[in-house]
Chains A and B, each alone.
Chain A
């Protein structure tokens, strides 16, 4: 297939996933910010939302303070932010339009439908009572896109590049989410945490729809190192880093089989999966969770570049 087609499928999926993650971050921040301040820990929820979205520097250039209004506005639709939810859906749709023939009609309808409904929203009022409905619509769109792709695409290279985009983006977002909150996950550290961090831990789980499933896997009350274990090393949790890398390497293997050639991206993905499989959770804490996550985000970016130079250019 054309490199440009693969590139567009990869990126349109990344942008769709990114829009969903932004919506999740805002949804949780919105919930946390309603708690009395003594429950909300050391960091302003809205600041951490900006940090999780990976645009703290850009935000500071354009806004004075992180408040509900300023952060929601910035992350949802601000023209100052090229990675706002609105911009993600627009970029996704532009990519989709360029490769309509490579996706199924149903996928196009989801993307185009979302784009059309964004035309009718008054973003000036978005931080008001309409916010949660808007965020639900974005998450719903991403879920539909995912399931429609899964149900309708032929299992050949376009499908695998589409999936790769989703999962490379998900790995990045999950790691970022953990990294912003790493301090509340550190065990037995008095400087951070304290009993009130319970709400921080559960909010982390909630932001990846994993609060209930946590109870099913651990059958004990939420503990910070268990949250980290769950979201990093448990293969049965579908958004954990290890599960996401399992998928990434599987899709890359399919592509390599089809083309009869292995390359840099297969080697990198295998190495990252191996590392996750061979790291017990206590070692992860010893080396430093923050350092671990930082290098994971870095490696994941490198994988993105390797995929690009091997297939997409």
Chain B
């Protein structure tokens, strides 16, 4: 049985859910259905859509939204927050070390070939020192819960994590739908995320920038699945949303083409992958990037955020070393657990994984978005066999993990209220000055009964996440 965040292990309502549970019991189902229809109309009108790769129609779809909030008590959040900060600081120290002295390799903690022969390793970065020595400025660390005190990090998402616009729009829609719940429970706000992101990016401006650095968001364009988020964030931050063709490099300085002529750019919040950033340095066929960008980066004239080469920390084989990495750089025990991971590149591990395939989750070391992943317990015999062949062919490309029993929360579905499995993606901002985390994050829901796959590209939905401030004294609601 999975841990239920409302009813715990024993069926008794957990304290943080007390008010919500009463409210759910008192609210008739048709009223919830009505509010859900309202929510959907709002999302459609705002046009929060995403496109799915490989979808024949190339359609723009709505992500399913569940109207029952997921709750975290302050105590739980503080613990998680501390763990996230520790984790992101360790990620940054690790990446700096990987492209620098490589002490962690010399100490024999992370194998050298896993670093140097990794597809995500960018040799260019051994010559480039990013501003303030920070690499991961925005991380979307996926956390799952398996019990009252069991928090696991599933993925670190240190490249270009997405989903924060859903976190913000979900809250906006919930405010409009359920003002009475917000009046009853003290929910910590998240809407200052764009401000915090802008402050983070500003703190990372290169030394050459003026006091008011020019920050832009670089998008692959309107056909990208996360384009809505790109335009949403640039709008909220009041910065230009640029495509590669809007930028050019002259004399190792990046400029954007404006109606008033070229304008110098200091910080690029890029939402395109490393390989596409600069056709002169990486994929020559990329039309999304900016020729010469890497030279400007190397000259210290521009900040690229996240830094180039952070994918090394996203590698799932590297992930398996994270507890040691945290200990090595912080000298402390990790506050968040890692999911036990078999590295198929190791012969014993491969043998075990092949023998227990039907119990395990197998993932590509470089994969993301739930693509190319096997969920053993839910796979057919034919799927298991096909995957075993792939595994034997290229073991180093895979890791395996036990099938975690993700916690469940109540969701409002067509047939009423039912439990569904969830994860949580908090967004961690790491600037030159400090780490900023808005309370909560994006809760992703596996909408199908029993399913453990929460990715939106695989039919997952989202819900609002409330960190309930149950510690400070409650002010009576003014009438």
Contact = CB atoms under 8 A, between A and B. Distances in A.
B222 A1 contact: no
Interface stretch (A55-63, A96-104, A218-226, A298-306): A96-104
Interface stretch (A2-10, A42-50, A67-75, A138-146): A2-10
A157 interface: yes
Interface in A1-32: 1-6
B241 interface: yes
B222 A101 contact: no
Interface in B201-239: 221-222, 231, 234-235
A4 B257 contact: yes
Contacts of A161: 259
A6 B221 CA distance: 16
A1 B258 contact: yes
Nearest to A312: B259
Contacts, number: 42
Contact of A3 (B47, B234, B258): B258
Contacts of B243: 4
Indicate the size class of the contact surface on chain A. Answer: 20 to 34
Given A2-B246, A4-B245, A101-B241, A94 B259 contact: no
B250 to A, nearest CB: 16
B59 to A, nearest CB: 11
A279 interface: no
A161 B241 CA distance: 18
B260 interface: yes
A311 interface: yes
A259 interface: yes
Contact of A108 (B47, B245, B257): B47
Secondary structure at the B interface, as helix, strand, loop or mixed, is mixed
A112 interface: yes
Contacts of A259: 259-260
B240 interface: yes
Contact of B257 (A98, A109, A313): A313
A312 B222 CA distance: 19
Contacts of A100: 47, 231
B222 A94 contact: yes
A8 to B, nearest CB: 10
A285 B222 CA distance: 49
A99 to B, nearest CB: 8
B256 interface: yes
A2 B248 CA distance: 13
Nearest to A161: B259
Interface residues of B, number: 18
A255 B222 CA distance: 27
Contacts of B259: 1-3, 6, 157, 161, 255, 259, 311-312
B312 interface: no
A173 B404 CA distance: 65
A101 B234 contact: yes
Contact of A2 (B45, B47, B235, B242): B242
Nearest to A311: B259
Interface string A63-106: 00000000000000000000000000000001001101100000
A166 to B, nearest CB: 18
Nearest to A3: B257
Interface string B20-53: 0000000000000000000000000101000000
Contact of B246 (A4, A94, A108, A157): A4
A137 to B, nearest CB: 21
Contacts of A5: 240
A259 B259 CA distance: 9
A259 B222 CA distance: 29
Nearest to B241: A101
9 contacts: A1-B258, A2-B246, A2-B259, A3-B257, A112-B47, A157-B259, A161-B259, A255-B259, A312-B259
Given A98-B222, A100-B47, 15 more contacts: A1-B240, A1-B258, A2-B257, A2-B258, A3-B257, A3-B258, A4-B257, A5-B240, A97-B222, A100-B231, A101-B231, A101-B234, A109-B45, A259-B259, A311-B259
- Ranked nearest first, the 9 interchain pairs of A and B with the lowest CB-CB distance are A3-B257, A311-B259, A101-B235, A98-B222, A97-B222, A6-B259, A101-B231, A259-B260, A4-B246
